């Protein structure tokens, strides 16, 4: 279970949204909603361990990210606004290099199968700089599918995907949930039907001024 207890995060010393307390069980998807600038991206980055927690706590399986240490990063896949791909490398090279950087054994056969599954069969060997935005997003999502990690954190994952791709992504997330994973995502759009029953949290802008 991923638990947030009275979690407050901020920018420039100011809390962004009212403290958040919630629990996400295995097999569940959390859809983070809220107006522009309320802090959805910042929250997801914080859950990914990319930004500090100012107040409150986050625990995964009852241990804080600090307790997990370096092992915490291995519990999750993170997709940000940028697809974090190397432009000069192909989707296949990106995927294999990503696995190597994370000390994961990934055979070329499995990497190829994954890229076919995400719809990149015709551009497996093209440099990423020649791909469309939607193809880049699919290449980034291939990481999630190539090797299993229990926590999927996705910031606006539907952006740039065509309608079919949005439904495919919904199906991939639903499959991940069926396997006992959890997913936390932000989206201004309605979620695809296969994950439309996601738990929703709407961030409320914090009107109070600053940290104590
Ligand atoms: N690099 C930065 N430095 C300082 N403040 C920032 C930075 N990035 C974002 N912010 C501020 O942090 C707040 C939260 O931004 P964030 O991107 O998390 O919001 P969001 O809810 O994801 O917004 P949107 O729906 O527009 O994507 C905003 O008020 C923004 O101005």
Q: Is the CB of 193 under 6 A from ligand 1?
A: no
How high is the pLDDT of residue 66? 85
Is pLDDT above 70 for 208?
Answer: no
- d(CA 183, CA 191) in angstroms, rounded, equals 12
Query: What token pair was written down for 62?
Result: 């009852």
Report the percent of the chain where pLDDT is more than 90: 86
Nearest CA to ligand 1 atom 31: 37
Q: Does residue 185 lie in a domain region?
A: yes
For the stretch 67-91, pLDDT in tens is 888 888 899 999 998 889 999 999 9
The more confident residue out of 211 and 18 is 18
Q: Does residue 207 lie in a domain region?
A: yes
Structural domain containing residue 61:
1-75+151-160+181-211
CATH number at residue 67: 3.40.50.300
| Probe residue for ligand 1, chosen from 9, 15, 38, 48 as the CB with the greatest number of ligand atoms within 8 Å | 38
How high is the pLDDT of residue 83? 85
Is pLDDT above 50 for 212?
Answer: no
Q: Does residue 86 lie in a domain region?
A: no
Nearest CA to ligand 1 atom 1: 11
Q: Does residue 166 lie in a domain region?
A: no
Query: What ipTM is given for this predicted complex?
Result: 0.96
Ligand 1 atom nearest to 35, measured from its CA? 25
**Mean pLDDT (whole number) for 181-208:** 95
> Looking at the 3D structure of the chain, how many domains does it have?
1
Q: Does residue 30 lie in a domain region?
A: yes
The pTM score is: 0.94
How high is the pLDDT of residue 54? 83
Q: Is the CB of 14 under 6 A from ligand 1?
A: no
Is pLDDT above 80 for 108?
Answer: yes
Query: What token pair was written down for 6?
Result: 């009275």
């Amino acid at each position: 279970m991923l638990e947030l207890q009275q979690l407050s995060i901020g920018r420039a010393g100011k809390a962004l949204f009212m403290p958040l307390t919630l629990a996400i069980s295995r097999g569940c998807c959390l859809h983070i909603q809220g107006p522009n600038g309320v802090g959805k991206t910042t929250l997801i980055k914080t859950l990914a361990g990319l930004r500090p927690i100012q107040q409150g706590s986050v625990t995964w399986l009852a241990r804080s990210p600090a307790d997990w240490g370096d092992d915490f990063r291995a519990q999750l896949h993170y997709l940000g606004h940028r697809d974090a791909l190397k432009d000069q490398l192909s989707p296949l090279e990106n995927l294999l290099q990503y696995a190597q950087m994370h000390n994961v054994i990934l055979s070329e056969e499995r990497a190829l199968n994954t890229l076919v599954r995400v719809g990149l069969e015709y551009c497996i060997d093209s440099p990423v700089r020649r791909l469309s935005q939607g193809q880049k997003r699919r290449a980034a999502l291939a990481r999630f599918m190539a090797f299993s990690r229990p926590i999927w954190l996705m910031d606006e994952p539907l952006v740039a995907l065509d309608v079919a791709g949005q439904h495919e992504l919904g199906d991939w997330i639903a499959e991940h949930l069926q396997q006992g994973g959890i997913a936390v995502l932000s989206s201004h759009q309605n979620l695809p039907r296969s994950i439309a029953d996601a738990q929703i949290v709407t961030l409320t802008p914090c009107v109070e001024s600053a940290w104590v």
